[in-house]
Amino acid sequence: MSDHDARWMLVNAVEKEETRIAVVRGGRLEDLHVERTSHETLVGNIYKGRVENVHASLQAAFVNIGLEKNAFLHVSETVGEGEEPYHHPQRGQRPRGPKRLIQNLLRPGQEVLVQVIRDPFGEKGPSVSMEVSLPGRFLVLTPLTTKVGVSKKITNPTQRAQLRTLMKQLTDANPSNVGFIVRTASGDTPMQDLKNDFEYLQRVWHAVDQRAQQAKAPASLYQETELVLRTVRDFFSTDIDKVIVDDPGVHQRLKDFFEHVMPRFGERLELDSGPTPLFYKHDLESQIEQLASKTVNLPSGGSIVIEPTEGMTAIDVNSGRLVREANPEDLALKTNLEAAREIMRQLRLRDLGGIIVIDFIDMKQERHKRDLENAVREESRRDRSQMVILPLSQFCLLEIARQKTRPSLQVVSSDPCPACGGTGFVKNIESMALEVMRALKSTLDRDDIAVVEARVSPDVAGYLKGRLDDLKQLEERHKKRIHLSPTRELASNRVEFSCYNTSGEKVYDFVK
């Protein structure tokens, strides 16, 4: 297989403040996962909490789980005694039967076992659910039910039947009072791999259950694994040809993970700790930079404009220079189909959640509208976030509700712009400092460069002073010099670089 067709997972973990994981196909960014040590996710963590308040008007309770802000527990995320949560068609949907009222289910002071399903955001605390589960590579343990199910994404009837048979053999040989869901990744998994996952999850749940019985609320019972292991566990698939890591320590942890969980694919793991930053080497930094732009160009000349607001995300589709095409209806369909594919990709990459309204170019023919709606639904299958897609309206407006579990890429990497009253964003100090470090690594790798001067705002310079040891290591590794120049005239989101050769002559300048 040529590199043009190859699908790779690239793990950038050398910066202690940030870990980034990209999935690329033929060099084009397909998925991006970013986590900062200053914004580590709580999603998946399990706590023993204490109900502080029950609000009948909100049909929700606020639960103290030991964090700064109480967690939000909606009635649709509660589990009554003897209830089977996984009978629900979707998470968050109320079960059929008599209406369930929060005031009849919970009371102040009551201790509850909950799992975080959405990170804190702004003034809001985390959202939690009593529908607790533990994910493994091939299975998900569901402690509140004893049933065994198979992921709906496995559609082959023969394969589903085979997996049910394998799971019956496992559960018959190892009786327990918990249930399991067979994940999509388990498609052609050997029995031994399923058994290993089965036994591992039972050990983890036993430890969680023991801590829950002994601990006094509020208490942390289980923390999800680090981003790298979590992403490989959840997103690695058989069509990923390589997993390339730039940090030796992370590479070793992944090597251990592959050996224990999926040894068949261990040979696909590679270490690339060379001097050139991994994402620069694979031309990903420029693609990631484009995710901060509101406008995204389409292959045939059209464009989409993405406008996140406080209550929703509005996306407008423009035909651009293609307006000269003879048939306006064909033009509209062509542009809309291109836009549908790109919009669904941008939702994944930017991690946009909540309500999304797309204003497609108006079309008259019903079959074209059906084609567009089908294209959106087909593209949505690549997204692991839960989505509700409403039918296309008379005016070619499409509404999507996308599960929001954590802050978007923009919120993590940017601050509200003080110059425009908070209506726009600029990259925050941490993001700019990380960009400076990456740019220095890439620039110092050039043979014709001996000295690099980086002119930055005083705020960015102050942040980088906390990384003087890293800067010195860069100088020693490349046998070159770095000059950091705080410049009051520069905005915090702008960095100017000047590069010099061994004779002190300026080779070139560039700006980030």
d(CA 350, CA 307): 12
Question: Residue 147's domain is classified under what CATH number?
Answer: 2.40.50.140
Residue 3 is predicted with a pLDDT of 62
Residue 94 is predicted with a pLDDT of 46
pLDDT digits (tens, 9 = 90+) for 351-395: 898 899 999 999 999 999 999 999 999 999 888 888 999 999 988
- Write out the H or E segment, with its range, that includes residue 374: helix 366-380
Residues comprising the chain, all counted: 512
Instruction: Name the pLDDT band for 421 (thresholds 50, 70, 90).
Output: very low
In 3D space, the residue among 136, 192, 205, 194 whose CA is nearest the CA of residue 163 turns out to be 194
198-215 exposure pattern, b = at least 16 Cβ within 10 A, e = fewer = bebbbeebeebeeebeee
Question: Residue 13's domain is classified under what CATH number?
Answer: 3.30.420.60
Q: Lowest-confidence range among 98-102, 370-374, 447-451, 467-471? A: 98-102
Check whether residue 306 and residue 172 sit in a common domain.
no
Angle between helices 458-465 and 468-478 (to 10 degrees): 80
Is pLDDT above 70 for 414?
A: no
The predicted model gives 400-421 an average pLDDT of 69
Would residue 398 count as lying in a domain? yes
Contact 217, 44 (CB under 8 A): no
In 3D space, the residue among 204, 65, 80 whose CA is nearest the CA of residue 126 turns out to be 65
Instruction: Name the pLDDT band for 116 (thresholds 50, 70, 90).
Output: very high
pLDDT digits (tens, 9 = 90+) for 165-194: 888 888 888 878 899 999 988 877 788 888
pLDDT digits (tens, 9 = 90+) for 317-332: 998 754 555 678 888 9
In 3D space, the residue among 80, 395, 139 whose CA is nearest the CA of residue 261 turns out to be 139
The predicted model gives 119-128 an average pLDDT of 88
Residue 418 is predicted with a pLDDT of 59
Is pLDDT above 70 for 81?
A: no
Instruction: Name the pLDDT band for 91 (thresholds 50, 70, 90).
Output: very low
Is pLDDT above 60 for 92?
A: no
Check whether residue 201 and residue 73 sit in a common domain.
yes
**End of a domain among 173, 196, 222?**
222
The predicted model gives 408-429 an average pLDDT of 65
d(CA 464, CA 472): 12
Check whether residue 157 and residue 195 sit in a common domain.
yes
Check whether residue 114 and residue 167 sit in a common domain.
yes
Question: Residue 500's domain is classified under what CATH number?
Answer: 3.40.1260.20
d(CA 334, CA 323): 12
Residue of higher predicted confidence among 271 and 384: 271
Instruction: Name the pLDDT band for 90 (thresholds 50, 70, 90).
Output: very low
CA atoms within a 13 Å half-sphere pointing along the CA-CB vector of 58: 9
Token pair listed for 386? 């839960």
User: Which residue range forms the structural domain that includes residue 67?
Assistant: 46-222
Would residue 420 count as lying in a domain? no
Would residue 56 count as lying in a domain? yes
Q: What residues are paired with 218 via a beta bridge?
A: none
Instruction: Name the pLDDT band for 309 (thresholds 50, 70, 90).
Output: confident
Instruction: Name the pLDDT band for 447 (thresholds 50, 70, 90).
Output: confident
Instruction: Name the pLDDT band for 218 (thresholds 50, 70, 90).
Output: very high
Would residue 412 count as lying in a domain? no
Check whether residue 186 and residue 235 sit in a common domain.
no
Q: How many CB atoms lie within 10 A of CB 157?
A: 8
Angle between helices 429-444 and 458-465 (to 10 degrees): 70
- Beta strand residue intervals within 262-324, DSSP E: 269-271, 295-297, 303-308, 313-318
Is pLDDT above 90 for 278?
A: yes
| Distance separating the N- and C-terminal Cα atoms of the chain | 36
The predicted model gives 74-85 an average pLDDT of 74
Would residue 255 count as lying in a domain? yes
Structure pTM?
Answer: 0.77
d(CA 26, CA 11): 16
Instruction: Name the pLDDT band for 86 (thresholds 50, 70, 90).
Output: very low
Would residue 419 count as lying in a domain? no
For the chain, what percent of residues have pLDDT higher than 70? 90
Would residue 2 count as lying in a domain? no
Is pLDDT above 90 for 124?
A: no
Check whether residue 259 and residue 365 sit in a common domain.
no
Would residue 422 count as lying in a domain? no
DSSP state of 44: T
Check whether residue 493 and residue 455 sit in a common domain.
yes
Instruction: Name the pLDDT band for 279 (thresholds 50, 70, 90).
Output: very high
**End of a domain among 234, 257, 286?**
286
Q: Lowest-confidence range among 79-93, 124-138, 224-238, 421-435? A: 79-93
Instruction: Name the pLDDT band for 142 (thresholds 50, 70, 90).
Output: very high
Instruction: Name the pLDDT band for 84 (thresholds 50, 70, 90).
Output: low
CA atoms within a 13 Å half-sphere pointing along the CA-CB vector of 403: 15
Contact 305, 318 (CB under 8 A): yes
Residue 100 is predicted with a pLDDT of 84
Check whether residue 248 and residue 269 sit in a common domain.
yes
CA atoms within a 13 Å half-sphere pointing along the CA-CB vector of 500: 12
392-402 exposure pattern, b = at least 16 Cβ within 10 A, e = fewer = beeebebebeb
Residue 186 is predicted with a pLDDT of 83
- Do the strands 414-416 and 425-427 form a parallel or antiparallel pair, or are they unpaired? antiparallel
| Average pLDDT of the residues of the chain | 87
**End of a domain among 350, 384, 402?**
402
Instruction: Name the pLDDT band for 4 (thresholds 50, 70, 90).
Output: low
User: For residue 317, what are the CA distances in angstroms to 94, 241, 353, 365, 375?
Assistant: 36, 34, 19, 18, 15
Is pLDDT above 90 for 212?
A: yes
Check whether residue 138 and residue 79 sit in a common domain.
yes
Residue 49 is predicted with a pLDDT of 96
In 3D space, the residue among 233, 36, 44, 189 whose CA is nearest the CA of residue 126 turns out to be 44
In 3D space, the residue among 417, 440, 370 whose CA is nearest the CA of residue 398 turns out to be 370
Check whether residue 55 and residue 202 sit in a common domain.
yes
Is pLDDT above 50 for 407?
A: yes
Instruction: Name the pLDDT band for 503 (thresholds 50, 70, 90).
Output: confident
The predicted model gives 442-467 an average pLDDT of 90
Check whether residue 387 and residue 481 sit in a common domain.
no
d(CA 62, CA 71): 5
Token pair listed for 220? 């942390």
The sign of the dihedral angle between the CA atoms of 324, 327, 330, 333 is positive
d(CA 457, CA 433): 10
Is pLDDT above 50 for 245?
A: yes
Number of domains in the chain: 4
Residue 177 is predicted with a pLDDT of 85
Q: How many CB atoms lie within 10 A of CB 376?
A: 22
d(CA 187, CA 163): 8
Residue 144 is predicted with a pLDDT of 87
Long-range contacts at 212-219 (CB < 8 A, ≥ 24 apart): 212/48, 212/113, 215/48, 216/48, 217/48, 217/49, 217/50, 217/64, 217/111, 218/47, 218/48, 218/49, 218/50, 218/64, 218/65, 218/66, 219/47, 219/48, 219/66
For the chain, what percent of residues have pLDDT higher than 90? 53
Written as one string, the DSSP assignment of 119-175 is: --BTTB--EEES---EE-SSEEEETT---EEE-TT---HHHHHHHHHHHHHHHHHS-
Q: What residues are paired with 394 via a beta bridge?
A: none
Check whether residue 252 and residue 388 sit in a common domain.
no
Q: What residues are paired with 485 via a beta bridge?
A: 455
Query: CB-based contacts of 364: which residues, under 8 Å, 6+ apart?
Result: 329
